[in-house]
Amino acid sequence: MKRLLLFAMMCVSISFTYAQKKFDKVSKVTSSEIRWWGYKVVKAEASSHSGTVKLKSGKFNFDKTVLVDGEFIIDMRSIMAGDVSEEDQIKLTNELKSTNFFEVKKFPIAKFHLTKIIPLANSEYNSTVYGDITIKGVRKTISFPANVYVTQFTVVVESAKFSLNRRDFKVFYQSSLKDYFIKNEMDFQFRVSTEKLDNENRVPAKKK
C-alpha cells in the first residue's frame, strides 16, 4: 500500500513538473479584432451582413522560447452587426444573440485552442493554423491560413478570411423556413497580438 501511494505521488509530481515546464512563460493578448460575415440568399443573389465580436481574453503558452499553444475566450454577448442602420442593427444583433442563433444567455463564451502552426512556403500567408473551436458547447477541429509572427514572447496572428458551417454548431432557426434563405457558411477573420510590433521586426513562427 505504501509503495502504491509512493508511486502515485511520483506520478503526480512528474505531471506537475511537466505542466510547469510546458507553461513556464505566458504571453497575454493585449490587442485583438474579430470580424464576421453572414450571407442571406435571396432568389439568385446573395446579400451579406457583417459585424464584430470581442475577445474576452487570450494568451500564448511557451516552453522556454518555443510557442506551445494558445488559448482564447470570445465574448459572444458582444456580437454585433455593423453594416446596417441603427434600427436594423439592434434588430439583427438581438436576433444573433437569441436562441435562433448563438443563444448567448446559455452560451456566453466561445473558445479557440490553437494547437499547431505549420509554416507555408510561396504563399500569401506564411502559416497554416490548426486548433479546436467550441461554439454553443460543440467543439470542432479547424485550420486556416494566417500570417504568424513570433519574436521571443511577442506573438502576432493575422488570419485569412475562413469559413465555418453554422449548422455544425447548431446555429440555425428551429423549424422555420427562414433558415433556408441563409447560407450555412459564416466567414470570420481575426487579428490578435501580444503587443504592437514593427513590420521590419516580425519573424515567422518556427515549426514545432
Cα separation, 55 vs 106, whole angstroms: 18
| pLDDT, block means (10 residues), the chain with 208 residues | 40 36 79 94 70 97 92 97 80 91 96 96 93 98 97 94 95 74 92 71 50
Residue 163 half-sphere exposure toward CB, CA atoms < 13 A: 8
Q: Cα-atom radius of gyration of the chain, to the nearest Å?
A: 20
C-alpha span between 130 and 143 (Å, rounded): 4
For residue 5, the tally of other CB atoms under 10 A from its CB is: 9
Q: Is the dihedral of CA 42, 46, 52, 53 positive or negative?
A: positive
What is the reported pLDDT for 205? Answer: 52
DSSP H helix total and E strand total for the chain: 2, 10
Within 8 A by CB and 6+ apart from 1, the residues are: none
Domains, in order of start, for the chain: 25-194 (2.40.128.110)
What pLDDT, on a 0 to 100 scale, did the predictor assign at position 19? 41
What pLDDT does 20 receive?
Answer: 41
